[in-house]
Amino acid sequence: MTTLSVTVPDMACGACVSTITQAVQAVDPSAEVKTNLGSKAVDITASVTTETLTEAIQKAGYTVA
Ligand SMILES: [Cu+2]
């Protein structure tokens, strides 16, 4: 199990949240994605590597801090 806690500064609204969630679940359908719009935090529990998760978010067009 991989856990990844990152900040995504350009996650601004509910559409961003669903885009990011879908991008992560595209690489791991069983991934658990928790987002906090206020703090721009994205916490993921998944069975793929942190690199795969980070890349998925970046390919969706977001910066991972
Ligand atoms: Cu948005």
pLDDT in tens, 13-30: 999 999 999 999 999 999
Residues flanking ion ligand 1, Cβ below 5 Å: 12-13, 15-16
Q: What is the pLDDT of residues 36-47, one digit of tens each?
A: 999 999 999 999
Q: Which fold would CATH assign to domain 2-59?
A: Alpha-Beta Plaits (3.30.70)
Say how far apart CA 37 and CA 17 lie, in whole Å. 8
Every domain of the chain and the residues it spans: 2-59
Q: CB of 36 within 8 A of CB of 27?
A: no
Say how far apart CA 48 and CA 37 lie, in whole Å. 24
Q: Using the mean position of ligand 1's atoms as its centre, give its distance from the Cα of residue 65 in Å.
A: 17
Q: What is the pTM of this model?
A: 0.95
Backbone phi, psi, residue 4, to 5°? -135, 125
Q: CB of 65 within 8 A of CB of 9?
A: yes
Q: Using the mean position of ligand 1's atoms as its centre, give its distance from the Cα of residue 17 in Å.
A: 7
